[in-house]
Amino acid sequence: MHIDDAVFLEDLCPKFRLRQWRKSIHRFTGKSCIYCGKPSESIDHVIPRCQGGLSTTENCVPACLSCNGDKSDENALYWYRRQKFYDPRRAMAIRAWLEGDLRLAIRLLQWANPNFKIKNKNYEKDESEYKAA
Ligand SMILES: [Zn+2]
């Protein structure tokens, strides 16, 4: 995806959009943390905002509060490599997510967690709705 095509949250404005967007992010992983697999309670910026990371779907992943807090302002890929629960398949999933290939990311997460269930099979629809906004 080209940077020119990126949808910037700031352009999307109101709170309703923001809430829908956040929900769709959690739905991609079946509401589980992309790093450790626990229930996701927050949205984490893979590249922190202070390092120029944008609030786009590509840079925002579902994360539990513990991972989000622990990672803080670090680059997620570096931080993740040092974690006890590090899983190379998840690392690949994070990379794919960053590149905007959510379908590949979700497949890798399913591989990392056989119990993974997509609660909403319409995720592709959600994605296109988001892009159309
Ligand atoms: Zn976590």
Is pLDDT above 70 for 91? yes
pLDDT tens-digit map of 111-127: 998 666 655 454 544 44
Q: How far is the CA of 16 from the centre of ligand 1 (A)?
A: 26
Query: pTM value?
Result: 0.75
pLDDT in tens, 17-65: 888 899 999 999 999 999 999 999 999 999 998 889 999 999 999 999 9
At residue 133 the predicted structure's pLDDT band, cuts being 50, 70 and 90, is very low
Mean per-residue pLDDT for 84-104? 96
CA of 32 to the centre of ligand 1 (A): 8
Would you state the pLDDT for residue 17? 82
Residues flanking ion ligand 1, Cβ below 5 Å: 33, 35-36, 38, 64, 67
DSSP state of 31: S
- Ligand 1 centre from 11 Cα, in Å? 29
Q: What is the DSSP string of 46-110?
A: SS-GGGT--SSGGGEEEE-HHHHHHHTTS-HHHHHHTSTT--HHHHHHHHHHHTT-HHHHHHHHH
| Owner of token pair 């803080």 | 72
